[in-house]
Structure 1
């Protein structure tokens, strides 16, 4: 049998917890995947997986074999990439994860630019706001906001995006002026559904003010917040990556721009391997350079 193919199939079965999920990923059938794993078990002379109609889990021998097989496959991938060296052309499939709003608003366009430059690369962009384990879900790279990062990935902080209060010109004209942070309490405050009511702002002299700001509307999506600002629904805290283009066009305005909340930290993540495929390396470098050219993103040294 093709032992490497069998090892790859088995490793993904353990990571995904389902033979049908492996079949979908490999674009084949579940019986084919099952036969591949069975052939590997026959070659090794041990049972690697415990199967039932609803559950799939490695046996004790399977757990031990998985750890070594995963390392062997990574070493093999590194050896192939190293042997190809500078003559390699970036090819193959890249699976990329990102939060929904930044993916739709900013990353989607960059991915299209990248594909135009590298015609032999395919990209599957998975937009999801939940925590994503890159290894378990077979992701080659991820764009993440914030410092809550997975332990089994390498994280490169590539940009910062300042956060401050924002509102539309129409809203500001129709409501009492906001001259101090405390004035925000007299306004309809828009916030993310999962965010705390407590807002911490730091002034130009290092002074910190905490507000218990609340309003009648909360939403769990950044694009919804952006639209709400545009229609004059209220004032709220927003990162520059979400609204800087609207600030530049005059549709929105920073409110008390000298008072800021903690910035969004922007990270590029990839699985913790010593050697990355060329397609992953060129994609990560492309994002690192191009993201800083978009509105609302700043170099970590200049934000």
Structure 2
């Protein structure tokens, strides 16, 4: 069995969703492609594709094998180019995952700049606030906020953004003044839902750290909703600079207790813990590291 050809046929079958399309692309016949893929399945002892008269799709095992096989083919192509003294052009699909707010305020513009630089690369940017399983979901690169990272990934720290207490001038007008952290207990505090620390907030002024209890009637599991609620005058919140700096600059928000800050929010670049990374992924990671170095406001 020609292993490389078998992998090529299988990978393209998953991507094109048709054995006939693979045959046309490779200048052969559909029965030939079907025979090669069937031989690959037999050698592995696993069914890789579900076939019907109307469609073709990978099985669960087939999807997992596809991700690895795609990497093998890309590594092989780079090895061939290197042996021939050629420089491969970065191309293909790159799957990137990031939190919603970070994607909107920072990453989306960087992706557009990256695509202009590398016209043969495609990017599928998936924005969600849950922790994605990079291997199971076929993610090439992920950006994650905070220090709670998955065990099956390699992380590279990009930086940390300071966190400020902020509120809208309309909220602060006519309310009890804030002179020390404990005064937060008398105010409406807006926070992220499901925090392990609950209503307790840890603040520092450079010399000491205090933990204070807050109160609030509104909690939400989305940073954009927190940002909007604060701008609408719903209360006080502790936010990373990257999320609210534009509103501070426009004076739509003000810093509260400016001598006190929360623990900085870390930003990490993650990729699956497999040895090989395609050229497009390595280029994207280098690009993001350069653009977000020191990650602050």
Q: TM-score range by the shorter chain?
A: 0.7 to 0.9
User: RMSD of the TM alignment (CA)?
Assistant: 3.4
Query: Which of these residues, 79, 84, 90, is aligned with residue 81 of structure 2?
Result: 84
How many residues were matched structurally? 273
Query: Which of these residues, 204, 216, 227, is aligned with residue 206 of structure 2?
Result: 204
Q: Which residue of 1 aligns with 2:272?
A: 271
Q: Which residue of 2 aligns with 1:28?
A: 17
2:264, 2:19 → 1: CA distance?
A: 46
Q: Which residue of 2 aligns with 1:16?
A: none
Deviations 1:225-273 (A, max 9, x none): 0001111110011111111121122221221122122111101111224
1:120 aligns with 2:120: yes
1:38, 1:247 → 2: CA distance?
A: 61
| Partner SS, residue 257 of structure 1 | strand
Aligned pairs for 1:134-283 within 5 A: 134-195=134-195, 196-206=198-208, 208-283=209-284
Deviating more after overlay: 211-220 vs 178-187: 211-220
Q: Which residue of 2 aligns with 1:47?
A: 45
Which TM-score applies when normalising by structure 1?
0.77
2:70, 2:243 → 1: CA distance?
A: 40
Closer, same or farther in 2 for the Cα pair 1:235/1:284, shift >3 Å?
same
Structure 1 unaligned residues grouped into runs of 5+: 12-21, 297-303
Q: CA deviation at 1:282?
A: 1.6
2:183, 2:263 → 1: CA distance?
A: 20
Deviating more after overlay: 189-198 vs 222-231: 189-198
Deviations 1:28-82 (A, max 9, x none): 159999x67543233x2x6324999xxx676xxx9xxx7xx94x86555334324
2:70, 2:49 → 1: CA distance?
A: 24
Closer, same or farther in 2 for the Cα pair 1:185/1:8, shift >3 Å?
farther
2:294, 2:258 → 1: CA distance?
A: 22
CA contact (8 A) 1:168 1:253 kept: yes
Closer, same or farther in 2 for the Cα pair 1:217/1:89, shift >3 Å?
same
Structure 2 unaligned residues grouped into runs of 5+: 23-33, 51-58
2:20, 2:174 → 1: CA distance?
A: 65
Which TM-score applies when normalising by structure 2?
0.79
